[in-house]
Structure 1
Amino acid sequence: MLRLVTEGLYVLEVPFRTAGLELGGRMTVIRLPGGGLWIHSPVRLDAATRAAVEALGPVRFLVAPNLMHHLSLKDWAAAYPEARVVALAGLRRKQPQLRIDVELGDAPDAGYSEVIMQQRMGGIPRVEELVFLHRPSCTLLLTDLAFHIRDSPSWLTRTYLRLCGTYGKLAPTLLLKSLVKDRAALRSSLEGVLSWDFERVVVCHGEVLERGGKEALRSGFAWL
């Protein structure tokens, strides 16, 4: 079930549908230098997923990368009480019963800072996305900041993404653009991300982009 993308980085792809759109979902698992696992945007926890993850190593961090991707986090936190739950402070209002051990900010927790960088994307208060970089593999992790859906069997999904100008490329949707409240803040955050060394982009919705990620991200946000 878990697919190896590059050394130390795995993904798990699952179906995901919202508002009639077939977007697909993706969880990313990074093996830390000590052998523990850092899990980005956990998907629904079932027996098969749990077995696949535990075959890789002990779960050390569970990361909710924005205010939207948290639906399965409570189950993972209960299943792995020794893992540290990493999330935005604002998530406490949406999930008051969720245990949060590390509040996300611009600086990564010392437990994973050796291999992972992070940047809060300003100007989108209803999303508050954190973008991450797996430094050893030059891989950028995005959640809802941009999609990369190159093909879809769903007519509705294709139509919506074409209207967004997003279909077939790495770019934000019209919804994301509508949520931007401070373009200067978002531009500044994006410039920080574009200063990083990355080639591959792993998105939560769409295909993994193996090459040309920095140029694709810059092009997708040229409107900014």
Structure 2
Amino acid sequence: MALPKTRFIETTLRSPLLQLPVRSVVFELEAARVLYSPASVLTSEQLRDAGAITDLVAPSLMHTAGMKAAAAAHPSARLWGPVGVREKHPDLSWHGILGVDPWPFEAELALIPLPGMPKVNESLFLHHAAKALYVTDMAFNVLEPKGLAAWMFYGSFGIYRRFAVSRLFLRFAKDRPAFEATLAKVAGLDFQHVVPSHGEPVLDDGKARLIAAFRERGLIK
């Protein structure tokens, strides 16, 4: 699968009980190359093969483990992360905080912070060139789960072999009105594809399926 001005880097977090697919993404913007959600299992070679990177983005507090190695591989890149990331990783030099400091790529890669989730602080990103919405842990689409406990892990969160919003993720939404108001705005955005960090991209009918997933959890009307 190919999307305009986009490169996927596919990796897997492996344990005896669960194999979790993880997707990192390089966005080719007009004046920047952004590495989104560098996975903790990316090798030095994979990080170098990503090419010249100007900006590194940790889209949530749950996706920060790969930033140190990515910053070492791309020492001139600016580091972006969610509220709380400076406290979590004080050893790294953070350029900006998502949703707080000005995001310079809004016209090409729109930033959509999800409010009311202080332990996660996930942001969605809308890549206009590809009409693709990127989500981190809000929704999964692992259609071929692997590992002895895969059925238990995915099943308990309502995401076993299907595209759906994770029940676990929703437990972190402490301000549900603010969270749901943002999702209602997301449902009105112009996109065709949904690309989760975990599992297969949902192409062409991604918006319709995401809206259906929101409604399944009672998040929008």
Q: TM-score, normalised by structure 1?
A: 0.88
Aligned pair partner of 2:99 in 91, 94, 105: 105
| Alpha-carbon distance, 1:155 to partner | 4.4
Structure 1 residue ranges (4+ consecutive) displaced by more than 6 angstroms after TM superposition: none
2:170 is aligned to 177
Aligned pair partner of 1:207 in 192, 200, 203: 200
Amino acid at match of 2:47: R
Distance 1:119-1:19 versus aligned 2 partners, 3 A rule: farther
| Alpha-carbon distance, 1:162 to partner | 2.7
Conserved in 2, the CA contact under 8 Å of 1:118 and 1:132? yes
Determine if the alignment matches structure 1 residue 78 to structure 2 residue 78: no
Q: Deviations over 1:178-198 (max 9, x none)?
A: 222121111111112112111
1:33 is aligned to 30
Conserved in 2, the CA contact under 8 Å of 1:119 and 1:192? no
Q: Deviations over 1:4-30 (max 9, x none)?
A: 621211111111147933221110111
| Alpha-carbon distance, 1:68 to partner | 1.0
| Alpha-carbon distance, 1:53 to partner | 0.8
Distance 1:172-1:150 versus aligned 2 partners, 3 A rule: same
Amino acid at match of 2:72: A
Determine if the alignment matches structure 1 residue 160 to structure 2 residue 158: no
After TM superposition, list the pairs within 5 Å mapping 1:1-224 onto structure 2: 5-17=2-14, 20-34=17-31, 36-43=32-39, 44-54=41-51, 58-105=52-99, 109-110=103-104, 112-222=105-215, 223=217, 224=219
Amino acid at match of 2:63: H
How many residues align structurally? Answer: 216
| Root mean square deviation of aligned Cα | 2.0
| Alpha-carbon distance, 1:108 to partner | 5.8
Conserved in 1, the CA contact under 8 Å of 2:44 and 2:69? no
Distance 1:28-1:210 versus aligned 2 partners, 3 A rule: same
**C-alpha distance in 1, partners of 2:43/2:158?**
35
Q: Which runs of 5+ in 2 are unaligned?
A: none
| Alpha-carbon distance, 1:169 to partner | 2.6
**C-alpha distance in 2, partners of 1:154/1:180?**
28
Q: Deviations over 1:171-222 (max 9, x none)?
A: 2223212222121111111112112111111111111111211121112122
1:162 partner SS: helix
**C-alpha distance in 1, partners of 2:181/2:15?**
30
Which is further off, 128-137 or 10-19?
10-19
Distance 1:21-1:49 versus aligned 2 partners, 3 A rule: same
Q: Deviations over 1:81-109 (max 9, x none)?
A: 22110112311111111111011117862
Conserved in 2, the CA contact under 8 Å of 1:106 and 1:120? no
